[in-house]
Structure formats: structure tokens, C-alpha cells
Amino acid sequence: MAKKKVLVACGAGIATSTVVTTRVENLLKENNIAADVEQIKISEAKGKQEGADLLVSTTALPTKYDIPSIVATGYISGIGKDKIDQQILDVLKD
């Protein structure tokens, strides 16, 4: 399986994306999915999407992207975390 690239974005690329980046890295490791996870600002997503496999965002998506995108506010609120986990796995598993 080829190594995946995941972008994790929040408004400033600092606070909530740090929490989500850790959760995504652990999820992928537990499921034996090799991936580079990059923490970014949502404003950088459009320019960084090329070569990426997935965008996970803790904020509303300001535009459409050429890659699958998941809004993961549930990782912050604690509501629906398992559903988000499954969405991420569905996109990244070959």
C-alpha cells in the first residue's frame, strides 16, 4: 500500500488541528495505514491539496477541494468520533 498524505486543518493551524492530528496519526497507526499527516491552516488547503489523499478539517470548509474532505468537529466536541474515524478509514484504505 502506498503511503498516504493527510492534511489536518483548523482556522489558525495551531490549536484544534493539533488535537486532531494526534488522533488521526494514532488511528492510522492502529490500522496499519502508512501516512504523512501535515497540520495546516484551512486557508492553505487549496494550495496544498495536490498529492494529498484527504483533508480533515475542524472548521467549516470555505470552498470545494479536489480531494475528499471531512469536517471533524466531532473530534473536538466528542460527539460522533467513531463515525469520523470510519469515514477517514474508508477514504484511506485501498
pLDDT tens digits for range 58-75: 999 999 999 999 999 999
The residue among 38, 32, 34, 30 whose CA lies nearest residue 7 is 38
User: What contacts 79, CB < 8 A, 6 or more positions away?
Assistant: none
pLDDT confidence bin for 13, thresholds 50/70/90: confident
- SS3 of 7-40: the string is EEEECCCCHHHHHHHHHHHHHHHHCCCCEEEEEE
pTM: 0.94
> Cell numbers of 24, please?
488521526
Architecture of domain 4-93: 3-Layer(aba) Sandwich (3.40)
Burial class (CB in 10 A: 0-12, 13-18, 19+), 30: exposed
Sheet holding 69-71, edge to edge: 35-41, 4-10, 54-57, 69-71
